[in-house]
Amino acid sequence: MGNIFGTIFRISTWGESHGGGIGVVVDGCPPNLPLSEKDLQPSLERRRPGQSKITTGRDESDTVEILSGVFEGRTLGTPIGMLVRNKDARPKDYEEMRTKYRPSHADFTYQEKFGLRNHEGGGRSSARETIGRVAAGAIAQKILSLSGVDLLAYVKRVGEIEMPELDGNATIDQIDATPIRCPHETTAAKMIDAIMAARKDGDSLGGVIECKAKGVPSGLGFPVFDRMEADLAKAMLSLPATKGFEIGSGFSGTYLKGSEHNDLFENKENEIRAKTNRSGGVQGGITNGEELVFRVAFKPTATILRPQTTVDIEGKEAELVGRGRHDPCVLPRAVPIVEAMTALVLVDHWLRQSAQCDSFSFE
């Protein structure tokens, strides 16, 4: 339970951090979509460890293999199975965690829920699980790109260092120009310095990722339980290390009056548009055709390389120093994961919209 996401475009991830590999099964993908490993690998390259001096030193190529669901370069409409093998696992680094609970990690809660746990890298609680999401999300992103949707995320803030608003939208070249994936070069340099300083001190940093999607049609989502922003929030808060979600004006909008916050409508060349976008592209749980804009908060990496007090599995006081290879800040590698989950939500809602509202005509 809890390993399946989506209604029509559904994914199921499997595998552990230091097991044989990580995989995903995608069901509900439309047939005849041109697809190969070359379409998926760039997204996995942006997520993989060992990219730069500000990420974990684990040396994985994260090469994806498509095992099923594709024939002669096109999707069959049947389940697409994908696998990324683990090649640089070091389970011995986690031997101390067999009996000690890491602060702010899932060790204690997994033990409480299941009665046992995989202590090697956290097992399923490791961010390595997100490989499957990114591989599946790359398929969804290709569907969206062919449908005219431009989807990008970037690091907006690290610790107390926040980038200013850009003139226009960022490009992927601007985002990937630095290892922190912040499209504002001066701010990016300050972020990298802060992360390196935290790493040197055996500590970690958190921050905020902003995601924007242009070209999303109006009408996606539902007015009650399956609101677009609710499903986006679930998708984002299902990611490791996430602690908050806001869309459009978010929490800052609570400081405004209704007269200041409302997005007024206008008829622009025979098309109803909003003059502003404090709603973030969603009103009443349904997309309104404006740019989708939201932000996700990530906590500092829980594993730090300095002594911390904890308890062992018998409840006795103990001391623990983080071991293994870990990111001092998860944000740069989380950018493609946020994009992947966004794409999965949008494609699933698009298919649901088509199934309910476009399949039959009663006129």
- Domain housing 309: 4-358
Reply yes or no on whether the pLDDT at 234 is more than 80: yes
Instruction: Tell me the CATH number at 326.
Output: 3.60.150.10
Reply yes or no on whether the pLDDT at 302 is more than 70: yes
Residue type, 5: F
The C-alpha torsion from 184 through 187 and 192 to 198, rounded to 10°, is -140
Question: What mean pLDDT comes out for the span 173-188?
Answer: 96
Buried b / exposed e over 156-170, threshold 16 CB at 10 Å, is bbbbebbbeeeeeeb
Supply the pLDDT for residue 324: 63
Supply the pLDDT for residue 56: 76
Does 349 fall in a domain? yes
Question: What mean pLDDT comes out for the span 23-34?
Answer: 98
Count structural domains, the chain.
1
Convert the pLDDT of each residue in 272-300 to its tens digit.
999 999 999 999 999 999 999 999 999 99
Average pLDDT of the chain?
94
Reply yes or no on whether the pLDDT at 52 is more than 90: no
Supply the pLDDT for residue 158: 98
Does 30 fall in a domain? yes
Q: What's phi and psi for 231, nearest 5 deg?
A: -70, -35
Supply the pLDDT for residue 299: 98
Question: What mean pLDDT comes out for the span 88-93?
Answer: 75
Residue 218 CB neighbour total at 10 angstroms? 15
Does 310 fall in a domain? yes
Does 363 fall in a domain? no
Question: What mean pLDDT comes out for the span 35-60?
Answer: 88
Is 323 exposed, middle or buried (CB count within 10 Å of its CB: 0-12, 13-18, 19+)?
Answer: middle
Query: In this structure, what token pair is assigned to residue 54?
Result: 């500000």
177 DSSP 8-state letter: T
Question: What mean pLDDT comes out for the span 157-186?
Answer: 95
Question: What mean pLDDT comes out for the span 5-18?
Answer: 96
